[in-house]
Structure 1
Amino acid sequence: MADHSAARQTKVRASELVGRGWLNTGGKELSLESLRGKIVILDFWTFCCMNCLHVLDELRPLEEEFEDVLVTVGVHSPKFEHEADPVALEAAVDRYDITHPVLDDPNLETWNAYTARAWPTLVVLDPEGYIVAHLSGEGHVQGLTSLVRELVEEHEAKGTLHRGDGPYVPRPKPQGTFAFPGKALELPTDFANGRTTYLVTDTARHRLVQVEADFETVLATFGGPEKGYLDGSAEQARFNEPQGIALVPTDLRETLGADVLVADSVNHRLRGLNLSTAQVTTLAGSGVQRLIDGDTARTDPNHIEPGADPLSVALSSPWDLVYSREAAAFLVAMAGTHQIFSFDPVTGQLAVFAGTGAEGLKDGAVADSWFAQSSGLIEAKDGSIWVADSETSALRRIVFDTEEARVETAVGIGLFDFGFVDGNRQEARLQHCLGLTELPDGSIAIADTYNGAIRRFDPATGALGTLTRGLAEPSDVLVETTEDGGARLIVVEANAHQLVRVSIPDAMQHVDEGASQVTRKATELAGGSLTFTARFAAPKGQKLDTRWGDPTQLKISSTPENFILSGAGTAQGLTRQLELNPEITSAVLHITARAAACDGEPGGEIPDHAACHLYQQDWGLPVVITESGEQELVLDLRGVN
């Protein structure tokens, strides 16, 4: 079996931290010199990225344990145009309760200096300012803990470690009824003595709020204001950044013991809320983002055993949900795995309904389709399911008119293409859409979040138009009937911390501010034969899990598909020889690297009950063929100097 360990490298001095400005420092500019004597973790992130949000939460206990010797610096290197807006970045820092300094890197200067290739990327610097580790993806916290302890011991002995407070200075919290509301639901009048009320996920305060139709008068709160996980009464219950909510059909409420289902995103659970008793329960999800259970989970981390207890199944950032009559189940936008799960309210069974887990845009049978951080779901009157697929800035649709349900794309072309353009299927563009609703005429209203707009897609004509704009990151949209029998919109305006009513205009605007692509630098390849390697070194105290053979795996494909003539597909090992199509000069490589390691020292046996860990990273890598390009491509899954 091949040795997949990363070779030790020559010590490399860290590059200076360069950007537009700093957040969470009280206005102070930081430099590497000002951080000398501290262990530094550079977290390259962007606020649209679900994996980046996972890493923020993974780092919190590490930051607390080593608060006097460790400084995390979030290097915000944006994917979307909107993410380069400093006001939007400030809101994201507040929304996700980031408690470390953040460097605003809109031109990707620091990103390029550290050769980052994926969100998230972690780079560890020792107290003398040298790079000691380069990690991609999530799930590295155990290895980071071991590495930090090693560095503390080494540099305390050398006298180069400085203990004391770090440079973090907190920002003021938002005030008002809501703090970054996520999704909203109109409740049946029987839950409020004949009055129309609304249930809103008050995401940054980790609670659900029931409000009157004025959106300000609070009738009840469930959970919050601190994050946590606990079932029980409205006062006892705790959520962690709840997002989507769905009404349970009347005939299923007694079976579930709940009137509303909640996508409790950071707790990786589906929760139930009984509005009559004000009780919160857990219906599905173990609370562990990924379960590693022997060989099956190692090769397919999203595998769900038929008949499994729903409380034992690992979920990953459920973001929205809706009951589907055609599927006779709730469909759940599992943003963390780029899939749609199903949850049967009668049996409690969970299953993967759509998506392979590959991040991208691919239509066809649900089992073969690709999604990218789906964040909004609705059921249309005809029974089809519309999907806001945020990372591809796409409007997708699941239809049930054949033996096997299939996926179609209405708007959107891929992971790195977005914009603000109205028009037909070929030219229309969105930018990281999060919410949807169906209008009375059967068209679809879209919360086009990063464009700050509500758009309208007409399935009959295939055209996209604009209803209204100038909103602060709308994250959801509802339609309500007016007193005269007409219709208007209710918009969840997340960054304005409010719900607002918006008239539906008689004529749509036509906007064309241009199509855009992600500005990150494309990797230059020479074409022809390409050797790809994913570097991986197991953390100290862990060894590769070889009990079932090679514990590493590569899955490689491309857009367009014929860019790779040979070498695509899934196979063991972290090195692959690819043959590239000489007729194609630009493409996207889709690469997933995995490695499994368990607690135990190299050379020894893995104990029967050892904790095992799956390391995984997905790269969507833009490449161009040039005469000076490389014939070898090396990416770090976990590289340690």
Structure 2
Amino acid sequence: MAGADDFLALQADFEEVLASKESKDSRRDCILQHFSKLDKNKSFRIPDFDKDLDWLNVSAPLQFSHDGSLQGKVVVLDFFTYCCVNCLHVLPDLHRLEQRHSLQDGLVIIGVHSAKFLNEKVTANILSAVLRYDITHPVVNDSETSLWQKLSIMCWPTFVIVAPHGQVLYYIVGEGHSDVLFEFVELALEHYRSQGQISPHTLLPLSLEKDQQVEAPLSFPGKVHVGPGPDQLVVSDTGHHRLLVLDRVTGVVQTIIGGKEKGFQDGSLQDARFNSPQGVTSHGNLLFVADTENHALRQVDLSSGQVTTLAGTGAQGEDKQGGNPGPQQPLSSPWDVATGVSPGGEEVDVVFIAIAGTHQIWAYFLKDVTWWKSKPFKAGSCARIAGSGNEENRNNSYPDKASFAQPSGLAVSPREELDSLFIADSESSTVRALSLKDGSVKGLVGGDRDPKNLFAYGDEDGSGIEARLQHSLGVALLSPSGPLLVADSYNHKIKSVDIKTKQCTTVLGTGAPGHVAGGDSSSVQLNEPGGLCVDTQGQLVYIADTNNHSIRVLDWNTKTVSQLPVIFDKENTKPQEIQLDSASLVKGIYLPEVTLQPGANLQFSLDLKFAPGLYGNLEAPNSWKLSSGDEAGQKFLSSLPTDVIKGRLHPDAKSHETLASLKIADDVTTSSLILVLTCQVFVCHPDNSCTQQRQQFVQKLNISPSGIADHVSVAVLEVS
């Protein structure tokens, strides 16, 4: 029996004959004759899967053996690795193939995951990718690439079509061959059905992973952006195919853009549809969005409430030059965006785009601009500005001769600072710098001197090329001059790069995936963080902790980490000052009225009582505050330090907290006053959703020499 190399030589001879067939009928006859020849010679039978491999989307392993579950089926093996954008590009083809030919028709598609990066060998990480990309066919983790080697596979993606009796029929290498894939699969089904070899009633032990998951407020958030307002944060809720605008202090959702179902549709914020959006940035009230799997650049006008497509057709493009009007210009997997100023401009006039699919940096021009070497571009056009389109780690003084490898993150330093566009180049595991002055491309950290070596990855702090990253996906500047923060995704870390010395240092993450929550940054764990951004003060770093379905917040000054809750709640969460003529106007819970003597001590405490199954989100901004209910109360509180009248709550399951201890002045002149205690608690539910509960308590005080000397007012908050 021939081996894989012999079979591939046979296929090369067959393809030479097939290429001479011009009509559809002649191609059909040639392919069917090829199948018959293979059936007769039985030249190369598919090796079976190794035992003890981990399988996803099925409850038991699948086998090609004589009595195995794949007998009687035409099988398409998809050799992929989940970091590879080319592998992602063929998933829609496989989905259409599955829709056209069901299991009962005799077709089985199996994803054979063959890892490039060490992080991709872990089944739990492959599971996250299966869920993220909505893969519903069986997937096997061939972590040691055993079948890859037996079949002499050379690159991702590669399809291998297998007959119902296990004979290998055809290899298809690379993306962009969906017509050939459909042609060979359909003819194989026809051929073997006519021979009675298809077993339509043989069932697979399908058990979809997505059906076993608990819904969460976020699903694989890819990127974050501080803006458009100073207290707002935009989150790409990638797995839910939408954008969320949050209050970045409380996490309350202010605006939802798009819906949970994927699509490609302009219109209102509610009607618009996206497909796995990633990068987002803003200018004024405009958001610019890398709508990755729609291969489009979208604009969200928060003033008018409208979403429009600026560039891209909704289908994957192969153009590596561009220059067409935006809606007529095909794009290929835009992954991140950033606004900037053209070489001759004075204000924001360009949106930079990391085009992962063709390994280039493009730009959408908001105005007529003059680019490097006096090249003009019209407003509304979209074009390549750097990158040859070859997948390489090639630096060069000429931007069109430089090469990138799946650029996935962007950060701009303005002209008055570094005048550079920093790029997280994921497949080369590097960070690169594109000069906005002259277009030269230089390496900052990571990678190898050989531009074709895309396997120079690891997890090493160090300077320049000595540093090692693993599939870096995001970058953000702590200040316009640095340092540069890097989402070192497959190392589950955030790293900091001194731009002058090129020194790269770990600041967050242990190197192991996990979800160790807030606290000291040395112990916090992340899981494939995909993006990050920094607030305008350069203090708070917001991290899209992608596989943990959460947003983490790193305080750069204190090096502590918390988690930002995502609250779908229409209430205003900021405690408001309450102005009253009388206590009857306050909508709250009344505490027992009390009479105190001058010089008395008044203490407020809180008892929290959670309904079964509920618990407090300890990382959220749980808080309390005393405000005035009348003029006398306002005067009293204004004489006290701020930290005495407000603070944080720590809502444990059985929580009793002392909040404020106040002293009534000995020379107080008022006879009564009203204080209002506002408590804000973020509550977690069994379905992983979070809500906010806000309650006000009203305390009326009378002041009299005959009053008591000390009193504790106990507020009880029933959390439900």
User: TM exceeds 0.5?
Assistant: yes
Alignment deviations for residues 411-433 of structure 1 (CA, whole Å, 9 cap, x no partner)? 12241110110111231111101
Distance 1:84 1:458, change over 3 A: same
Which aligned pairs between 1:390-401 and structure 2 lie closer than 5 A?
390-401=426-437
* 1:318 partnered with 2:334: yes
Give the deviation of 1:39 after TM superposition. Answer: 0.9
* 1:186 partnered with 2:210: no
- Residue 476 of structure 1 contacts residue 491 of structure 1 at CA under 8 Å; is this kept in 2? yes
Listed as ranges, the gaps of 5+ residues in structure 1 are 190-194, 254-258, 292-300, 509-641
- SS of the aligned residue for 1:464 comes to strand
Distance in structure 2 (CA, Å) of the matches to 1:494 and 1:182: 6
* 1:128 partnered with 2:168: no
Distance in structure 1 (CA, Å) of the matches to 2:401 and 2:300: 34
Distance in structure 1 (CA, Å) of the matches to 2:51 and 2:113: 9
Aligned to 1:274: 301
Equivalent residue in structure 2 for 1:467, among 507, 529, 533: 507
* 1:331 partnered with 2:331: no
Distance 1:17 1:342, change over 3 A: same
Give the deviation of 1:45 after TM superposition. Answer: 0.5
Give the deviation of 1:505 after TM superposition. Answer: 6.4
Alignment deviations for residues 17-68 of structure 1 (CA, whole Å, 9 cap, x no partner)? 2265343344311111211111111000011000001111221011111012
* 1:82 partnered with 2:119: yes
Distance 1:451 1:238, change over 3 A: same
Distance in structure 1 (CA, Å) of the matches to 2:558 and 2:271: 47
Distance in structure 1 (CA, Å) of the matches to 2:290 and 2:14: 38
Aligned to 1:629: none
Listed as ranges, the gaps of 5+ residues in structure 2 are 1-11, 18-33, 344-348, 368-378, 510-524, 561-720
Distance 1:486 1:76, change over 3 A: closer
- SS of the aligned residue for 1:455 comes to strand
Paired residue total: 478
Aligned to 1:212: 247
- Residue 478 of structure 2 contacts residue 534 of structure 2 at CA under 8 Å; is this kept in 1? yes
- SS of the aligned residue for 2:327 comes to helix
Distance in structure 2 (CA, Å) of the matches to 1:89 and 1:340: 28
Equivalent residue in structure 1 for 2:532, among 477, 481, 498: 477
Could you tell me which amino acid in structure 1 is paired with residue 299 of structure 2? G
Distance 1:486 1:285, change over 3 A: closer
- SS of the aligned residue for 1:35 comes to coil
CA RMSD of aligned residues (A): 2.2
Aligned to 2:520: none
Equivalent residue in structure 2 for 1:407, among 421, 438, 441: 441
Aligned to 2:477: 438
Distance 1:380 1:271, change over 3 A: same
- SS of the aligned residue for 1:410 comes to strand
Which aligned pairs between 1:530-569 and structure 2 lie closer than 5 A?
none
Aligned to 2:208: 170
Which aligned pairs between 1:43-192 and structure 2 lie closer than 5 A?
43-67=78-102, 68=104, 69-164=106-201, 165-171=203-209, 172-189=212-229
Give the deviation of 1:145 after TM superposition. Answer: 1.5
Larger radius of gyration: 2
Aligned to 1:225: 260
Identity of aligned residues (%): 36
Distance in structure 2 (CA, Å) of the matches to 1:460 and 1:197: 31
Distance in structure 2 (CA, Å) of the matches to 1:303 and 1:336: 13
Give the deviation of 1:4 after TM superposition. Answer: 9.5
- Residue 489 of structure 1 contacts residue 502 of structure 1 at CA under 8 Å; is this kept in 2? yes
Distance in structure 1 (CA, Å) of the matches to 2:53 and 2:253: 38
- SS of the aligned residue for 1:47 comes to coil
Distance in structure 2 (CA, Å) of the matches to 1:125 and 1:215: 54
Alignment deviations for residues 336-388 of structure 1 (CA, whole Å, 9 cap, x no partner)? 00011111123111111100100011111111001000000010142210000
Aligned to 2:461: 422
Equivalent residue in structure 2 for 1:15, among 47, 55, 75: 47
- Residue 54 of structure 2 contacts residue 123 of structure 2 at CA under 8 Å; is this kept in 1? no
Distance in structure 2 (CA, Å) of the matches to 1:241 and 1:216: 22
- Residue 320 of structure 1 contacts residue 376 of structure 1 at CA under 8 Å; is this kept in 2? yes
- Residue 411 of structure 2 contacts residue 476 of structure 2 at CA under 8 Å; is this kept in 1? yes
Distance in structure 1 (CA, Å) of the matches to 2:261 and 2:205: 24
Distance 1:279 1:51, change over 3 A: same
Could you tell me which amino acid in structure 1 is paired with residue 63 of structure 2? S
- SS of the aligned residue for 1:474 comes to coil
Give the deviation of 1:118 after TM superposition. Answer: 0.2
Equivalent residue in structure 2 for 1:42, among 62, 74, 77: 77
Distance 1:490 1:21, change over 3 A: same
- Residue 430 of structure 2 contacts residue 469 of structure 2 at CA under 8 Å; is this kept in 1? yes
* 1:384 partnered with 2:417: no
Distance 1:348 1:149, change over 3 A: same
- SS of the aligned residue for 2:99 comes to helix
Give the deviation of 1:437 after TM superposition. Answer: 0.8
- SS of the aligned residue for 1:239 comes to coil
- Residue 478 of structure 2 contacts residue 538 of structure 2 at CA under 8 Å; is this kept in 1? no
* 1:490 partnered with 2:542: yes
- Residue 280 of structure 2 contacts residue 288 of structure 2 at CA under 8 Å; is this kept in 1? yes
Distance in structure 2 (CA, Å) of the matches to 1:15 and 1:491: 44
Aligned to 1:587: none
Could you tell me which amino acid in structure 1 is paired with residue 527 of structure 2? A
- Residue 58 of structure 1 contacts residue 139 of structure 1 at CA under 8 Å; is this kept in 2? no
Distance 1:19 1:108, change over 3 A: farther
- SS of the aligned residue for 1:5 comes to helix
Give the deviation of 1:486 after TM superposition. Answer: 6.5
- SS of the aligned residue for 1:60 comes to helix
Aligned to 2:572: none
- SS of the aligned residue for 1:64 comes to helix
Distance 1:430 1:128, change over 3 A: same
- Residue 22 of structure 1 contacts residue 101 of structure 1 at CA under 8 Å; is this kept in 2? no
- Residue 19 of structure 1 contacts residue 109 of structure 1 at CA under 8 Å; is this kept in 2? no
- Residue 22 of structure 1 contacts residue 28 of structure 1 at CA under 8 Å; is this kept in 2? no
- Residue 229 of structure 1 contacts residue 240 of structure 1 at CA under 8 Å; is this kept in 2? yes
Distance 1:246 1:73, change over 3 A: same
- SS of the aligned residue for 2:197 comes to coil
Distance 1:507 1:410, change over 3 A: farther
Could you tell me which amino acid in structure 1 is paired with residue 154 of structure 2? R
Q: Which has the higher contact order (CA 8 A, sep 6+)?
A: 1
Aligned to 1:552: none
Give the deviation of 1:80 after TM superposition. Answer: 0.4
Give the deviation of 1:3 after TM superposition. Answer: 9.4
- Residue 19 of structure 1 contacts residue 106 of structure 1 at CA under 8 Å; is this kept in 2? no
Distance in structure 2 (CA, Å) of the matches to 1:213 and 1:31: 50
Distance 1:3 1:15, change over 3 A: closer
Distance 1:92 1:131, change over 3 A: same
- Residue 223 of structure 1 contacts residue 234 of structure 1 at CA under 8 Å; is this kept in 2? yes
Give the deviation of 1:260 after TM superposition. Answer: 0.7
- Residue 295 of structure 2 contacts residue 330 of structure 2 at CA under 8 Å; is this kept in 1? yes
- SS of the aligned residue for 2:244 comes to strand
Equivalent residue in structure 2 for 1:369, among 397, 402, 412: 402
TM, length-normalised to structure 1:
0.71
Distance in structure 2 (CA, Å) of the matches to 1:507 and 1:183: 21
